[in-house]
């Protein structure tokens, strides 16, 4: 099964789902952009089947741990050694059998067999027998005993790697770990940020509701709107095309609020990526002042510039360089505000990126700490005396968050952690004054941020 998008070969929706999952597994692709490209190539105008493929792909990724455990109860061989495509055929079929009641079981099995035969001639009988056995006996299986092995129980029932479950239990306790894992398996809300350079939230929200959209003001961000069910993707709306809105999680919006740039400031976004936070900083500054957006990937900066054109942002310059490098002499202590939105595990975004939990290993967490520390050390050198430095991640792990800040403060005596934060809701601050949003508490992605101030 080729992974290259092409509209010349017709594929069934379930074949497309399997193909997407194969590439996620084998090439480390993220599901969202990959799925967008496949749906545009194969199902550009088929709304019903676009929704079906999306549901199967994300549902299978979210519940993969449970699905694999269930399949292994019926498969007599080594499931880990099975060909990856065959695994994904079985996973997608099992997901439909367990979680999509409107699809008849016989249709799920027949299509899985057909897909199998197109990829592995002669293996359809195995898939047919295995799935029919699951249908007959799925209600008779016993789950791991909660009282005997609680982490394994959560790992299976709430579909997370056991090592990660053990971390959540250590951080939050057993009850809250269950709530967190359950929240990560929910469909994330569609949240947009109103671009106040072009319109107000009240005006955009009023227009959305007037034209039949389910929309409401976000609870925490004064710039956000949460969108309910809709037949049209947000990117196809006039508000998006006119640059009045940008898709952005509510937690992400709070990061720029924590930076709190003022009109006329000089601001550095050291790990700008494609620029979601950069554009928000510009809106908060009312396009007055200067923002330097730095990233080590030119393609991301090109996307940032294209987005800024749509949003009407004109105070941003870009620079392609490694954020860990020493600043050029003319940029030393040149900025009023610096945002270091560090690359991280992304474990706060598992609702949107469930594939992360299946590819991440504990060793990768350790490797990332050096990168994060280096970026924060570099960010400090760009900041003026009296300036504000915000370090942020979309992770919930102390290794990437609090421990990075404590180590930084021990190395940099000129900096202090500002605990008295007033620019974001107090509900989003922990008892130590760190910004921390949690999916099961706040209904948004998990973010961490710390505000650091450089002494005069």
Active-site residue list: 394
Nearest to 258 by CA among 240, 279, 231, 284: 284
What is the C-alpha separation between 93 and 89, in angstroms, rounded?
6
Angle at 245 between CA 241 and CA 250, to 5 degrees: 150
Give the H or E element holding residue 274: none
What is the C-alpha separation between 215 and 194, in angstroms, rounded?
12
Structure tokens at 209: 């509701």
Nearest to 234 by CA among 184, 283, 299, 189: 189
Cβ contacts of residue 342 below 8 Å, gap of 6+?
A: 271, 371, 372, 375, 376, 391, 392, 393, 400, 404
Please classify residue 248 by burial: count the beta carbons closer than 10 Å to its beta carbon, then call 0-12 exposed, 13-18 middle and 19+ buried: buried
Answer yes or no: are the C-beta atoms of 399 and 345 closer than 8 Å. no
Please classify residue 32 by burial: count the beta carbons closer than 10 Å to its beta carbon, then call 0-12 exposed, 13-18 middle and 19+ buried: middle
Nearest to 163 by CA among 445, 393, 364: 364
What is the C-alpha separation between 165 and 81, in angstroms, rounded?
24
Nearest to 327 by CA among 369, 377, 398: 377
Give the strands of the sheet with 245-247, arranged side by side: 215-217, 224-227, 190-194, 245-247
């Amino acid at each position: 099964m080729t992974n290259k998008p092409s509209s010349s070969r017709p594929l069934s929706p379930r074949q497309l789902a399997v193909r997407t999952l194969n590439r996620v597994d084998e090439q480390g692709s993220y599901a969202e952009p990959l799925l967008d490209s496949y749906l545009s190539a194969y199902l550009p105008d088929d709304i019903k089947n676009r929704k079906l493929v999306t549901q199967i792909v994300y549902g299978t990724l979210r519940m993969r741990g449970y699905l694999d455990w269930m399949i292994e109860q019926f498969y007599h061989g080594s499931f880990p050694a099975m060909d990856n495509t065959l695994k994904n055929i079985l996973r997608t079929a099992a997901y439909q059998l367990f979680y999509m009641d409107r699809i008849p079981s016989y249709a799920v099995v027949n299509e899985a067999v057909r897909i199998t035969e197109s990829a592995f001639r002669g293996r359809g009988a195995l898939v047919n027998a295995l799935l029919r056995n699951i249908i007959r006996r799925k209600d008779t299986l016993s789950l791991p005993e909660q009282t005997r092995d609680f982490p394994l129980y959560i790992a299976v029932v709430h579909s997370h790697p056991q090592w990660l479950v053990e971390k959540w239990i250590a951080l939050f306790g057993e009850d809250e770990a269950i709530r967190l894992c359950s929240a990560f398996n929910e469909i994330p809300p569609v949240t947009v940020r109103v671009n106040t350079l072009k319109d107000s939230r009240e005006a955009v929200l009023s227009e959305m509701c007037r034209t039949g959209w389910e929309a409401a003001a976000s609870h925490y961000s004064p710039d956000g709107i949460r969108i309910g069910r809709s037949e049209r993707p947000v990117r196809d709306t006039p508000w998006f095309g006119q640059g009045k809105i940008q898709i952005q999680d509510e937690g992400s919006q709070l990061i720029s609020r924590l930076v709190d740039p003022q009109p006329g400031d000089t601001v550095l976004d050291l790990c700008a990526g494609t620029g979601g936070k950069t554009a928000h900083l510009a809106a908060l500054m009312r396009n007055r002042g200067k923002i330097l957006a730095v990233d080590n990937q030119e393609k991301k900066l090109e996307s940032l510039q294209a987005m800024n054109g749509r949003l009407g942002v004109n105070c941003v310059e870009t620079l392609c360089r490694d954020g860990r490098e020493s600043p050029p002499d003319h940029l030393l202590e040149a900025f009023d505000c610096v945002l270091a939105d560090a690359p991280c595990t992304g474990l706060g975004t598992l609702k949107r990126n469930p594939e992360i939990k299946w590819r991440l290993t504990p060793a990768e967490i350790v490797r990332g700490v050096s990168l994060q520390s280096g970026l924060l050390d570099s960010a400090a050198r760009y900041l003026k005396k009296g300036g504000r430095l915000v370090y942020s991640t979309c992770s919930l792990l102390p290794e990437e968050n609090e421990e990075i800040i404590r180590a930084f403060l021990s190395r940099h005596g000129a900096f202090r952690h500002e605990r008295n934060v007033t620019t974001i809701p107090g509900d989003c601050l922990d008892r130590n004054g760190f910004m921390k949003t949690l999916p099961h508490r706040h209904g948004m992605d998990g973010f961490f941020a710390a505000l650091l101030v450089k002494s005069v």
